[in-house]
Structure 1
Amino acid sequence: MANLLNVCRRGAIAVACLISFHANAGVVIAATRVIFPAEQTEVTVKLSNRGVSPFLVQAWIDDGRPEVPLEQLRVPFRLMPPLFRLEVCKSQSLRIFHTGDGMPPDRESLYWLNVLEVPPKEQGNALQFSLRSRIKLFYRPHGLPGSSADAYQSLTWKMAREGGGWGVVATNPGPYHINLAKLDVHVGQQVISLNPSYISPFSSKRFVLEKVPRVSAGELHFSTIDDYGAVRDGLSTADSAPGRG
């Protein structure tokens, strides 16, 4: 069974690149992200089967490397149950425990919760897929300064050279991950939509501006996602980084 699920897992990773983001999953996760406060002993995540058939469900946590085999993953969490059958219109709570391993006390740590649904085998030549859902799991130390909901307000932006062109550099000076849902750069009359991403604590991320001539400043229209999946809009400006123009 474990070998079968590992094969399905690898197949799901490949298929995820081909299936639309809006593909209808039978197993639904009742969260867009998981927050694990350090002062708690466990957190739970509810799964529901909204499909028309039962599923075999496998759940695991990775460290940001989805291609690594399960037996090689070393993460500071345990998850129960890791494998179960979920009937139609039924729910199951995943219990996540921290193992007590040392974690950075001054910032959030990011891991990923994976849920793989394997449909029942059908007769005939119907094409079937194992679908994997993957959401962020944040381990949050106690007593971090500021608020995760307002962390986006501390973002700073700069225009900087990127190879032969230009890019936008976002810097997060705080201890929380900042999750971008949208990032549009307004340069004169031009609006450039960039692929959003997340910015780790105390770090910077560079976004490349394709086919953009020399610029000295731009206006940033962005949205971030908070702990509850709500979207918060932000507006800022980005000037050329000193010595880069």
Structure 2
Amino acid sequence: MMLNTRLTLHTVALLALSLSQSANAAIGLDRTRVIFDGGKDATSLNITNNNTQLPYLAQGWIEDEAGQKITTPLIVLPPVQRVEPGKQSQVKVQALPAAKSLPQDRESVYYFNLREIPPRSDKANTLQIALQTRIKLFYRPQAITPSQQDLSNPWQEKLTLTRQGERYQVNNPTPYFVTLVDARTTRDGKTVPGFEPLMVPPKGSLTLGPTAQALGTSPYLAYVNDYGGRPLLAFTCSGETCKVNLQAAPLNP
């Protein structure tokens, strides 16, 4: 019994080591989020096979906010393609006519999925892993496409905080989703205990995890912009309401 137990533990250890060494994605994306311009019929993403020795299949699809695979109003073309070793290719997110029925006064969120499928191994007892990348896809109607001035004055600066009992509520008056990924009490401080990333919907509100007391009266919140950057917003609180200090924002974390 002791021998079998040791053999089992040894096997598990080797399997864990194999998994850790194989967990580097071969098929890579050129971005961490997709902004689909509602004024266009499609948008293209660059993909790369980082394995210089083996070809891989790249399978793409779209999921809705609930995580269900969809075939309308957006689709991925081609759904499956072969990418040669060390080569690049493109995958296209195509809008179908049903996209015109989406809300035109605010963004809609979906998820773009890309799964790599390795070639079949000719070796016996080989464990193969198909890694998958999942990123947010925002459908942005043409009517709310930001101008150059909007990009110079990020809409995230319009966020406000309202104290509700022991916590702050984040209020988003804009037509865009705002993803918050950090909360601090100082610019260079550590993440406040209890904070969990959250995505505030357009013209909606969500409650921050940390208590208002923990965040203090000058909290800093980091958001993700269109390019994957994470600028910091410095808030100044007065009474039950906090607004972005425009003299200090945006700041690089």
TM-score (norm 2): 0.73
Among 89, 92, 104, the residue aligned to 1:92: 89
1:1-245 pair list within 5 angstroms: 23-52=23-52, 53-66=54-67, 68=68, 70=69, 73-101=70-98, 102-122=101-121, 123-144=123-144, 147=150, 150-161=154-165, 166-185=166-185, 192-193=192-193, 194-209=195-210, 217-237=216-236, 241=240
Which amino acid in structure 1 is aligned with residue 235 of structure 2?
Answer: S
Native 8 Å contact 2:222 2:230 kept in 1: yes
1:89 counterpart letter in structure 2: G
Structure number with higher relative contact order (C-alpha < 8 Å, ≥ 6 residues apart): 1
- The one-letter code matched in structure 1 to 2:36 is F
Query: What's the offset of the Cα at 1:217?
Result: 4.8
Inter-partner Cα distance in structure 2 for 1:126 and 1:54: 18
Q: Percent identity?
A: 28
* 1:179/1:199 contact within 8 Å kept: yes
Query: 1:241: how far off?
Result: 4.9
Q: Compare the two structures and name the one with the higher strand fraction.
A: 1
How far does residue 130 in structure 1 lie from its aligned partner after superposition? 1.3
1:213 Cα deviation after fit: 9.0
The alignment partner of 2:231 has SS state of strand
CA distance in 2, matches of 1:59, 1:145: 26
Question: How far apart, CA to CA, are the structure 1 residues paired with 2:226 and 2:214?
Answer: 35
Other structure's SS at 1:218 match: coil
Unpaired runs of at least 5, structure 2 = 1-18, 242-253
1:177, 1:214 → 2: CA distance?
26
Distance 1:229 1:105, change over 3 A: same
Partner of 1:9: none
User: Contact 1:60–1:115 at 8 Å: present in 2 too?
Assistant: yes
Structure 1 portions without partners, runs of 5+: 1-18
Give the letter aligned to residue 45 of structure 1: L
The alignment's C-alpha RMSD in Å is 2.8
1:190, distance to aligned residue in structure 2 (A) = 9.6
What letter matches 1:75 in structure 2?
Answer: T
